[in-house]
Amino acid sequence: MKQRTRVRLQIVAAIAVAAASVAVFANAPMAGAGAQDRMTVPGAPFAAETGVPPPVFRLQAIVARAWDDSITTWSRLMQPRAVEIVAVNLRFVSRLAPADCFGLYSGDGPAYCSGNQTVFVGTDAANRLLAKFGQQGEAGITFLIGHEFGHHIQNLYGRFHRLSRAIYAAPDDAPELVRRFELEADCYAGVWIHDSEGWARSSQLRSDMLIVLASIGDEKILADRPASALPRLGVHGTTAQRTRWFLRGAESGDPQACDTFGAPQL
């Protein structure tokens, strides 16, 4: 019984890690969740001198564009399941709280919760990411929304269940399995860009996304950790792996090409 309980806990923990995608990117200390920012945020005037919207409005505009395009594109690609595509939810929160996803995680986000089919965008961390990505800020946030929406597609394809079963059967392989799961979401983000009416022909966006990917590989995020920690702690893939799978989706436009679980090598 103890062994079975341990395995189940590992499964829950691994899926939680997979869902809480990029909290580590912001390198912020964990703290209690702040007040939630819903879909509507208290208004603030545009800066009269520059005409530039406040950061919260800029973030919402970037997310809204990527979100609407994701729904439109995936509804077209998976037309028989369009009703399930549009059932996904989007919520802005200051930071993710345990109550947001059945107690599975808390932190910065963005993250997808399969239980309530909701993508949570942590505004505090997302605005830090906009600043971190610099000129590629819009492309960076757009990619992350594409990645999280990719988790929704995985949910519809039953990939969360496949991950759970695989970890249950081989708990020692959990980091590798979660890594494959995350890279599949990167590939789905590429499929979206390939077929997006808004961005399919934008070589600049694709180029900017590749620059962003070069800064969020596991070896970059865990640069201050020993090399031996990378296979265990790095669950999103190296820069080379993330770039490879994103491009596989972006160049093929075929969700079937994104089967990371069936690939002999990543």
3-class secondary structure, 69:
helix
Confirm whether 221 is domain-assigned. yes
Confirm whether 45 is domain-assigned. no
Is the confidence at residue 44, as pLDDT, over 50?
no
- Domain ranges, residue 98: 2-23+52-262
Confirm whether 36 is domain-assigned. no
Q: In terms of Cα–Cα distance, which of 126, 97, 91 is closest to 30? A: 97
Give Cα 33 to chain centroid, integer Å: 20
Is the confidence at residue 240, as pLDDT, over 90?
yes
Model pLDDT for residues 242-266, shown as the tens digit of each residue? 999 999 999 999 999 999 999 999 9
Cβ-based neighbours of 114, under 8 Å, separated by 6 or more: 15, 19, 151, 155, 160
Is the confidence at residue 37, as pLDDT, over 90?
no
Confirm whether 43 is domain-assigned. no
Cβ-based neighbours of 31, under 8 Å, separated by 6 or more: 95
Confirm whether 247 is domain-assigned. yes
Confirm whether 123 is domain-assigned. yes
pLDDT band per the 50, 70, 90 thresholds, residue 43: very low
pLDDT band per the 50, 70, 90 thresholds, residue 230: low
Find out whether the peptide bond into 110 is cis, omega within 30 degrees of 0.
yes
pLDDT band per the 50, 70, 90 thresholds, residue 109: confident
Is the confidence at residue 164, as pLDDT, over 90?
yes
Cβ-based neighbours of 107, under 8 Å, separated by 6 or more: 20, 23, 30, 95, 96, 122
Residue 254 and residue 39: Cα distance in Å, rounded? 32
Q: What predicted TM-score, i.e. pTM, was given to this entire model?
A: 0.82
pLDDT band per the 50, 70, 90 thresholds, residue 117: very high
Residue 63 and residue 144: Cα distance in Å, rounded? 9
Looking at the 3D structure of the chain, how many domains does it have?
Answer: 1
